[in-house]
Every structure is written in structure tokens, then in C-alpha cells.
Amino acid sequence: MFQMSTKPHKVSSLTSSSSKVSSSGKARQASAKSRQNTKKGRSGFVPLAAAASACVGITAAALWKKSKQASRSASTSTSAAASRKSVVAAAASESDRTILILFGPPGAGKGSQAPRIVETLDIPQLSTGDMLRAAVAAGTEVGKQAKAVMDSGGLVSDEIVVGIIKDRILESDCSKGFILDGFPRTVEQANKLDDMLSASGEKVSSVVELSVPDEVLEERICGRWIHKSSGRSYHVSFAPPKSLPSGAKPDESNMLDDETGEPLMQRGDDTAEALKSRLDAYHKQTVPILTHYKPTGVVSSVDANQSQEEVWTGIKTALGA
């Protein structure tokens, strides 16, 4: 069913690429683990599962971390996937699907813009995490491979992710196209995606970047405070709680939930320091991918330091919608 390569992957290339594109400790550990495996291997080759653990991308922890909050939508999408399966679309041979890669740093407003694209173009947003979870839950061939890797604490290989995307985009809801969310993250992944698409005569039709200056993102993100038990969210400048006197420096004593009066908190990720490393990683990963697609004339950058309506207008222009 899947053109999964059962050929062992040469680890040297995998490890070198993974150290190039990822600075995450987990990836480094995985590379180290894989190098050990290589030494044990007879000819410098390792089986897929071990090779996969060296690959960049998605750690099991990162995937399953979200699973609690996403479990409702995941189970919905699993049953939806099951019913879509019964109508296997002849979509692969269509040559004019909208194949959109949407990029944006944390805080750029992807979460509020993507649903508009979904609705307007009638195409689904395919998140790598959701697709992997659904494939694992559905027990597809590639899903089983992914599960084995994740159960062993490894990273899912690019081959597995591309295999899962390849399967998913055959479903009928992708007949007009789809939005890829969270993939590709590296030029290597972009190349694999391009190869998979070109096998059915397709290619990425739009790459849209939501562009927001880092300092604006810092204000957007670092000003966020939440009320943990209700999930109500506030912003120091844009939506302050009543308890914050104007001009006062926000802290735990004056950042209180409007309804309960309980203290608000900031997410660990929402500090200037954490944001800086997230943005560094984003710029390092994204710029080369934009450069990769530039020659094909599909790349556009939308100024996302504007109101949601203005950003949406920019996206529509970029997509010719």
C-alpha cells in the first residue's frame, strides 16, 4: 500500500543532516544513540526504526504532549478519517489542487487565519501531529511503523511522515487541495515532499509566510497571562485584567482573574527568553525553505503586523482567492 522504503538508511547522512537542522537536545541524543547503533551494525547501515530515531522532526514526547488537549478533535478526525476512507478519492491525479504550506512564527496569527483559508477554499488543514496520531490510531502500515518508533522513544523519520501525508491526501476532503501545517520544517523534508508530490504530477502551489517583526511577537506573546483553571486569557496591553492599575508593572499580585480574583500565570513558553530560542529556530528552519521554493515563484510573504482582517486580505491576494 505504501512505498515505504524497507531499505536500511545510511546513518551517516541522517545523523549529519539531523545535527545540521536541529539544535534540540533530543535530536542530539537520538543521533548519538543512532551512532552507537551504527557501530553495532554490520555495514554502517541500521534498520529503519533505528535510523528513524536519528531523524529530525517530531519527538514522541512532543506528539503525545498535545494528545490530551487534542484527544477530542483527534477522535473526531479518526472517525472522520474512517468514513473518508470509504470514498477513496481519485485526487492524486488532479493537477490543480491548492497545495499550500503556511508558515508563521509563534504569535503570527496562523491559528486565526488558517480556519479562514479552510473555509474559503474548502480544503483541510493537515497538521503533522494530528495525521500521525490518526494513522497510529487507524493502524495503517505507516501508522504501525510510526508507533513502533514512538514507543521506543525515537523520532519519526521524514519517510514515515511523508508516507502518512501521501496516504492522507488521497482522501476525498483533499480533492481541492490541502494546507500543510508543521511540515516541511527543513529543506530535506521539502525535497522529500516535492518528490512524493511529483510522483503524481503535482507540486506545492503556494508557500505563504505570515511575517511579523520579532519585537512585535515579543510584545504579543510575553504580555499573555492566563487563568489556569478556566483557560481565560489576558494581555498586559491588549486585554488587561481589571486588577491591573494602568501604568503598573504586571506581576502576580496585580494580575488577577476578573471573575474569580485568582492569580493569573504566564506559560513557561511565553517568556522573552523561551521565545527568543523559538524564533531563532523558526528563522533558521524557515528561511532556507522559502529560498528552496522561491525559484518556482510560489512564495509570498504577508505582512502580519496588521489587523486580522488586513492579514486575511493579504492572504487572499497571495492565494488568488
Ligand X SMILES: *[C@@H]1O[C@H](CO)[C@@H](O)[C@H](O)[C@H]1NC(C)=O
Closest to ligand X by CB, 47 or 213 = 213
Counts for the chain of helices (H) and strands (E), in that order: 13, 11
Q: How far is the CB of 305 from ligand X (least distance, A)?
A: 4
216 near ligand X, judged by CB under 6 A = yes
Is 26 marked active-site? Answer: no
Please tell me the count of residues contacting ligand X according to CB under 6 A. Answer: 3
Is 20 marked active-site? Answer: no
As beta bridge partners, residue 303 has 211
Of the residues 228, 267, 284, 294, only one is catalytic, namely 267
Closest to ligand X by CB, 232 or 235 = 235
Closest to ligand X by CB, 21 or 279 = 279
Q: How far is the CB of 307 from ligand X (least distance, A)?
A: 9
Is 278 marked active-site? Answer: yes
In angstroms, the CA 131 to CA 165 distance is 7
Q: How far is the CB of 216 from ligand X (least distance, A)?
A: 5
Closest to ligand X by CB, 130 or 209 = 209
Spatial CA neighbour of 162 closest among 130, 197, 203? 197
Where do we find the cell 472522520? 80
Q: How far is the CB of 282 from ligand X (least distance, A)?
A: 17
Is 220 marked active-site? Answer: no
As beta bridge partners, residue 156 has 58
Is 133 marked active-site? Answer: no
310 near ligand X, judged by CB under 6 A = no
Largest separation between any pair of C-alpha atoms in the chain: 68
Contact call for residues 102 and 117 (beta carbons, < 8 A): yes
Of the residues 116, 176, 278, 316, only one is catalytic, namely 278
- Cβ-based neighbour number of residue 54 at 10 Å: 29
Q: How far is the CB of 304 from ligand X (least distance, A)?
A: 10
In angstroms, the CA 104 to CA 283 distance is 10
Q: How far is the CB of 211 from ligand X (least distance, A)?
A: 10
In angstroms, the CA 232 to CA 271 distance is 18
Contacts of 158 (CB under 8 A, 6+ apart): 55, 56, 57, 188, 189, 192
Closest to ligand X by CB, 109 or 241 = 109
305 near ligand X, judged by CB under 6 A = yes
Q: How far is the CB of 177 from ligand X (least distance, A)?
A: 31
Binding mask 253-292 for ligand X (x = CB under 6 A): ----------------------------------------
Q: What Rg value do the Cα atoms of the chain yield, rounded?
A: 21
Assigned C-alpha cell, 169: 491526501
Of the residues 133, 185, 192, 220, only one is catalytic, namely 185
Of the residues 166, 192, 220, 224, only one is catalytic, namely 224
Q: Which of 44, 47, 115, 213 is close enough to bind ligand X by CB under 6 A?
A: 213
Closest to ligand X by CB, 125 or 305 = 305
3-class secondary-structure state, position 148: helix
Of the residues 110, 133, 192, 220, only one is catalytic, namely 110
Closest to ligand X by CB, 143 or 314 = 314
Q: Which long-range contacts (CB under 8 A, 24 or more apart) does 79-87 make?
A: 81/134, 81/138, 81/168, 81/171, 82/138, 84/171, 84/172, 84/173, 85/138, 85/171, 87/171, 87/172
Interacting residues with ligand X (CB under 6 A): 213, 216, 305
Which residues are the active-site residues?
Answer: 110, 185, 224, 267, 278
